[in-house]
Amino acid sequence: MEVATQAPSHLSPVLARYFQRNWTHGEGHRLFDSDGKAYLDFSCGIAVTVLGHRHPHVTAAIHAQADRLLHTCNGLGYLEPVTALADALARVLPEPLDSVFLANSGTEAVEGALKLARRATGRPVIVAFSGAFHGRTYGSLSATTSNPNYQRGHEPLLPSVFISPFPDVYRLGEGDEDRATALALDALDRLLAEVGAESVAALLIEPVQGEGGYNPAPAAFLRAIRQRCDAGGMLLIADEVQCGYGRTGRMWGFESAGIVPDVVTLAKAMANGLPLGAIVSSRALQERWGMGAHGSTFGGNPVCCAAALAVLETIERDGLVANAAARGAELTAGLCALMARDERIGDVRGPGLMIGLELVRDRATREPDAELAAGVMARSADLGLLLLTCGTAHNVMRWIPPLDVTAAEVNEALGIFETALTG
Ligand SMILES: Cc1ncc(COP(=O)(O)O)c(C=O)c1O
């Protein structure tokens, strides 16, 4: 984070800000500050604006719906863009994920998924994974360990939430995927034996961990936990808030393992910037939740849903999942070439356009270099590229360009990043 240079305002100081700049407008893949300076926006408002800024199809859909109806609560009946969005999501998700509850944000989606899991199974325990970020409200926060500052002092948290080690290939596995998988599975099995699998409602996992450091869960691990869920009557909840929607070069993060979760949580990219989240499962599972068990005044706002329909249409029409895979391969190749020349890059990882680049003091010890990461982020911004850090040790540069990023923009960003790294 940059050191605050602005005079204190009436905005709460509790919110940490990556930059101390005033943002005025956006156009395509550029964000502009109040000095009129343009930045290539590879932050996407933290993995949200997957189609960039002022996308004509999304903006038109928003205007059209705003002219028709801004709000009535979904609890009052049916709204055309809401029903159409649920249909579209059911179409792009694998069977049997065809029943959609709409919320306003990622944390609400996770919160609702935990409630669904407990009530539908009649079991109390939720198992989440170390380094995860699921949100800031009490349920999702209880499963969030990406940064101790998030939970600290907010206790007591939700009871019966247990944390098992995430199969972090670079650190837990020391670079060996099989080792990370075996160690994490062993720990999970011990935990399940201790708490009793029959008391576990759900396993909650990000198929590619986001805030915790852009760590993909090995496919073998995802398949193994799917098996354990099937055997033990536990639900598998995939938190796709950050890794879903084409980000990984596939529509959904869990696809890489060839599994289908019982529940999927969505938000961020859904409406390219308007607040929207979703909990998706089979209809049979949501029926077990029971009518009236959950609700929301704003969830499924028709303007947000109209935008979300335009986002899905654009992703499909313009082949943006394939673009994410192709541009992601180019970006990864460029970053790996840089790693070959620069000892301070310890790891480059992640599928599609969800790439983590780990900065370390020493490749052998893997000691994180958060200071370098903060410096590179600040210098990149000065040079006109917005890149964010993440990771439990704040030393991972995360690469989350828009899904429709071009090869020229990937090259431009690589050039700026190299300059910022050497600067
Ligand atoms: C994987 C994941 N889940 C949940 C959330 C929470 O989403 P929100 O900030 O919209 O509440 C985030 C936010 O970064 C996330 O990355």
Over residues 294-351, the pLDDT tens digits come to 999 999 999 999 999 999 999 999 999 999 999 999 999 999 999 999 999 999 999 9
* Ligand 1 pocket member 111 (CB < 6 A): no
CB neighbour list of residue 98: distance below 8 Å, 6 or more residues apart? 90, 280, 282, 283
- Stated length of the chain: 423
Return the structure tokens found at 219.
């496919």
| DSSP structural state of residue 265 | E
Query: Which ranges of 93-198 does DSSP label H, i.e. alpha helix?
Result: 106-121, 138-142, 148-151, 177-195
- Rounded to the nearest angstrom, the gap between the alpha carbon of residue 331 and the centroid of all alpha carbons in its chain is 19
All residues at 6 or more sequence positions from 184 whose CB lies less than 8 Å from its CB, including other chains: 129, 164, 165, 166, 167, 172, 221
Alpha carbon nearest to ligand 1 atom 4, residue: 134
Q: Where are the alpha helices (H) located in 233-343, listed in sequence order? A: 283-289, 302-317, 320-341
**Residue 4 pLDDT exceeds 70:** no
Atom of ligand 1 nearest to the CA of 106: 7
* Average pLDDT rounded to a whole number, residues 174-185: 98
User: Which of 133, 239, 354 for mutating ligand 1's site (highest number of atoms within 8 Å of CB)?
Assistant: 133
Task: Return the H-helix or E-strand segment holding 40.
Answer: strand 38-41
- 133 within ligand 1 shell (Cβ under 6 A): yes
3-class secondary structure, 389? strand
* Distance, CA of 207 to CA of 225 (rounded, Å): 11
Question: Ligand 1 centre and the CA of 378: distance in Å?
Answer: 24
Query: What average pLDDT does range 408-423 have in this prediction?
Result: 97
pLDDT band for position 170 (cuts 50, 70, 90)? very high
- Whether 240 is in the pocket of ligand 1, judged by its Cβ within 6 Å, is no
Q: Say yes or no: CB of residue 239 within 6 Å of ligand 1.
A: yes
pLDDT 10s digits, 234-276: 999 999 999 999 999 999 999 999 999 999 999 999 999 999 9
Q: How far is the CA of 162 from the centre of ligand 1 (A)?
A: 19
> At 48, is the secondary structure helix, strand, or coil?
coil
Give yes or no for a contact between 201 and 235, defined as CB atoms under 8 angstroms apart.
yes
Q: Is 105 in the pocket of ligand 1 (CB under 6 A)?
A: yes
- pLDDT per residue as tens digits for the range 100-145: 999 999 999 999 999 999 999 999 999 999 999 999 999 999 999 9
Q: Is the predicted pLDDT of residue 2 greater than 70, yes or no?
A: no
- Sheet of 200-205, strand order: 99-103, 277-281, 263-266, 235-239, 200-205, 125-129, 161-164
Q: What is the mean pLDDT of residues 63-72?
A: 98
Whose alpha carbon is nearest atom 9 of ligand 1? 106
| Cβ atoms of 263 and 235 closer than 8 Å | yes
Q: What is the pTM of this model?
A: 0.98
Q: 3-state class of 397 per DSSP?
A: strand
Q: What is the per-residue pLDDT for 365?
A: 96
Q: At residue 209, does pLDDT exceed 90?
A: yes
What pLDDT is attached to residue 108?
98
Write down the number of H helices and E strands in the chain. 13, 18
Instruction: Locate the DSSP E strands across 80-234.
Output: 99-103, 125-129, 161-164, 200-205, 208-209, 215-216
State whether the beta carbon of 211 lies less than 6 angstroms from ligand 1: yes
- Grouping H, G, I as helix, E, B as strand and the rest as coil, residue 202 is strand
Rounded mean pLDDT of 65-84?
A: 98
CA distance 112 to 114: 5
Ligand 1 pocket: which of 49, 107, 270, 272 to mutate (most atoms <8 Å of CB)?
107
Atom of ligand 1 nearest to the CA of 239: 1
Residue located nearest, by CA, to atom 8 of ligand 1 = 106
- The chain-wide mean pLDDT, for the chain, equals 97
pLDDT band for 423, please (50, 70, 90 cuts). Answer: confident
**Ligand 1 neighbourhood includes 42 CB (under 6 angstroms):** no
Q: How far is the CA of 247 from the centre of ligand 1 (A)?
A: 14
Q: Could you tell me which residue, 243 or 6, shows the higher pLDDT?
A: 243
pLDDT confidence bin for 9, thresholds 50/70/90: confident
Whether the Cβ atoms of residue 49 and residue 271 lie closer than 8 Å to each other: no
Using a pLDDT cut of 90, give the percent of the chain over it.
Answer: 98
Percentage of residues of the chain with pLDDT beyond 70: 98
pLDDT in tens, 10-55: 999 999 999 999 999 999 999 999 999 999 999 999 999 999 999 9
The candidate with the shortest Cα–Cα distance to 331, out of 356, 306, 310, is: 356
Nearest of 240, 297, 294, 249 to residue 270 by alpha carbon: 240
Please tell me if the CB atom of residue 273 comes closer than 6 angstroms to any atom of ligand 1. Answer: no
31: three-class secondary structure by DSSP: strand
> How far does the centroid of ligand 1 lie from the alpha carbon of residue 23, in Å?
22
> Which residue from 49, 214, 241, 304 has its CB within 8 A of the most atoms of ligand 1, so it is best to mutate?
241
Q: In the predicted model, is pLDDT for residue 162 greater than 80?
A: yes
DSSP 3-state assignment of 363?
A: coil
How far, in Å, from the CA of 144 to the mean position of ligand 1? 10
Give the Å distance between the CA of 134 and the centre of ligand 1. Answer: 5
CB atoms within 10 A of CB 164: 20
In angstroms, the Cα distances linking 262 to 88, 225, 226, 238, 334 are 18, 12, 9, 8, 37
Calculate the alpha carbon distances from 307 to 104, 118, 243, 357, 391 in Å: 13, 32, 20, 32, 31
| Residue labelled with tokens 């943002």 | 23
Q: Is the CB of 404 under 6 A from ligand 1?
A: no
